[in-house]
Structure 1
Amino acid sequence: MMRTTSIWKSYIRWAIVALLSVFYLYPLYMLTVLSLKTNEQMFASAFGLKGGFHFTNYVEAWTRSNFGQALFNSSLISIVSVSFIILFGAMASYPLARRSGKLSVLLSLFFVVGLIVPVQLNLIPLFKMMNSLQLNQSQLGVILLYISFGMPLTIFLFSSFMRSLPMELEEAAQIDGSSSVGIFFKILLPLLKPVAASVLILQFLHIWNDFFLPVVFLNTDSLRTVQVAVYSFSGRYSNDWAHMFPMIVICVAPVMLLYIFLQRYIISGIMSGAVKG
């Protein structure tokens, strides 16, 4: 009787997994099918497979929007920003996690407040500051903004994860004569891989998909990112869907590949950083 109950529970679990898989994969199916249709075919049969596929949509959209340059800009901004977010976030989290004084508590609360304040609320001061520093219409300026806005969540996750690590590792290294810098880079940093992978995918997803900062601070054709390039197919009275959907597919692909490669670290990192801390 118990064996039969266990089998039925297994069937139910697999049925739920299959149902959720269909639920999440169906939008990808719609996006792929729509990217291979003309505007006329979309209005006639949006999700059907009749009428043939037009792979030239990708070539035409890529050429018309100068998408290669936009892809390079987004890749450069995302990779550089995420790299420094992880490095600076981990270094800032080390003293906050290991010291229990009032200053550490206040600084931790200060970074938590940064999770609450929206970027849009600071637009006018940011715009004035970027102009005064001559960083408007500059990739460096946008990278610095992404690094600063990425610090609160990164420090929160890293510091929570570090508090779960045993102090004995650092004490043993100190006895062997290691400095604080050596302890951080040689002992702690390799142990941060799970939470670093979580930070990487979360921050990369945010920066890659962000539309607000690029459209405000990088609104020239040579500096625009993939999201702004996709928006170029949107008009005041009509949208060029046949060329917009192929570019959306290309935008989604890097994030999906990154998630596939890092998926074994992501859940463990979030759980370790948020629950154990």
Structure 2
Amino acid sequence: MRDRGETVRNGAIQLLLAVNAVIMIYPLFVMVTSSFKTNAEIFSSPLSLPTHFSTANLEKVWTETNFVRYLANSVGITAASVALILLFSTLAGYAIARYRFKLSSLVLMFFLSGMTVPLKLAIIPLFIQLDTLGLVDSYLGLVLVYVAMGIPSAVFIMTGFLRTLPRELEESARMDGASELRIMWSIMLPLARPALVIVAIQNAVPIWNDFFFPLVLITSDNLKTLPQGLTVFVGEFTTDWGVLFTGLTLAALPITLLYVVLSKQFISGITQGAVK
């Protein structure tokens, strides 16, 4: 009876997961297939496969719009922001987790306080401050906002993970004459790779998809990111839906590939954190 009940429960869980997967994947499937359709075909049969797969929308997006520029802006801003978040959060998390000093708990609470208030609530004073510094309508201003937004949770994750690593590793390395920088770079950081991947993905996805801060801080068309730039595909009176769906598909592709490449490390980091 116990085996039968466990089988029924596992079957119900698998069925629930399958239904959830269909709910999540089907809109993406419709988006991708619609990118190969004409406007007339999208309106006449929105949920069916295209009668013939045309690349006209892709050619129009690539040659007649500023999509390539928007894509390059998003790649550059996301890569720079994630790199700086990883750098600063790793250094701060390592110092808090691996060194004993009186104010370590206070320093950690200082970083964690940044998770309590969303940065969007401070958009008016933030805009005034960036405008005073001449950073409005610039890559640097947007990157600094994303770094400030991502560091608190990144420090929290890195500190928690680095605290679980055994101290015998660094103590033995010190006895062998290794410097503190060498210990961190060659011994600790390779072991913390799953946490680094979690931080990278956790910050890359919202930065890549963010529409709010580019809308407020970026005005020049050449500086727009993909979410903001895709709005130019929506006309006041008419919209070329095939082109729009193609742009959305291309915009989702890089971050999807990033997750696929790093998914093994991402899942490993989550499961290690759960066990520890």
SS at 2:221 equivalent: coil
Q: Which amino acid aligns with 2:223?
A: L
The CA deviation string for residues 64-121 of structure 1, in whole angstroms up to 9 with x for no partner, is 4311111111111111111121121111101111245552112211222211211211
Structure-1 separation of matches of 2:232 and 2:129:
28
Structure-2 separation of matches of 1:130 and 1:23:
41
Output aligned runs, 1:166-205, within 5 Å.
166-205=166-205
Q: Which moved more, 1:56-65 or 1:136-145?
A: 56-65
- TM-score w.r.t. the length of structure 1 is 0.89
Equivalent residues of 2:78, 2:208 under 8 A apart? yes
Output aligned runs, 1:85-96, within 5 Å.
85-96=85-96
Equivalent residues of 1:70, 1:229 under 8 A apart? yes
Q: CA deviation at 1:227?
A: 0.9
Q: Which moved more, 1:98-107 or 1:8-17?
A: 8-17
Q: CA deviation at 1:232?
A: 1.3
Q: Which residue of 1 aligns with 2:73?
A: 73
Q: Which amino acid aligns with 2:190?
A: P
Q: Which amino acid aligns with 1:109?
A: M
SS at 1:232 equivalent: helix
Equivalent residues of 1:173, 1:183 under 8 A apart? yes
The CA deviation string for residues 137-163 of structure 1, in whole angstroms up to 9 with x for no partner, is 111221122112110111011000001
Q: Which residue of 2 aligns with 1:43?
A: 43
Equivalent residues of 1:35, 1:249 under 8 A apart? yes
Equivalent residues of 2:85, 2:147 under 8 A apart? yes
Structure-1 separation of matches of 2:152 and 2:171:
28
Q: Which residue of 2 aligns with 1:121?
A: 121
Structure-2 separation of matches of 1:76 and 1:50:
34
- TM-score w.r.t. the length of structure 2 is 0.89
Residue 232 of structure 2 is aligned to residue 232 of structure 1: yes
Structure-1 separation of matches of 2:7 and 2:111:
48
Q: Which residue of 2 aligns with 1:266?
A: 266
For structure 1, the residue ranges without an aligned partner over 5 or more in a row are none
Q: Which moved more, 1:19-28 or 1:168-177?
A: 19-28
Q: Which residue of 2 aligns with 1:161?
A: 161
Q: 1:221 to 1:146 in 2, by over 3 A?
A: same
Equivalent residues of 1:161, 1:274 under 8 A apart? no
Residue 31 of structure 2 is aligned to residue 28 of structure 1: no
Percent sequence identity over aligned pairs: 38
Alignment RMSD: 2.4
Structure-2 separation of matches of 1:234 and 1:92:
43
Structure-2 separation of matches of 1:117 and 1:144:
17
Paired residues, number: 276
Q: Which moved more, 1:35-44 or 1:5-14?
A: 5-14
Q: 1:256 to 1:180 in 2, by over 3 A?
A: same
The CA deviation string for residues 211-252 of structure 1, in whole angstroms up to 9 with x for no partner, is 112122222111111111111123445543222111110011
Output aligned runs, 1:92-103, within 5 Å.
92-99=92-99, 101-103=101-103
Equivalent residues of 1:157, 1:270 under 8 A apart? no
Q: CA deviation at 1:29?
A: 1.1
Equivalent residues of 2:37, 2:50 under 8 A apart? no
Equivalent residues of 2:211, 2:228 under 8 A apart? yes
The CA deviation string for residues 20-62 of structure 1, in whole angstroms up to 9 with x for no partner, is 4433321221111222223332222211235544421122133
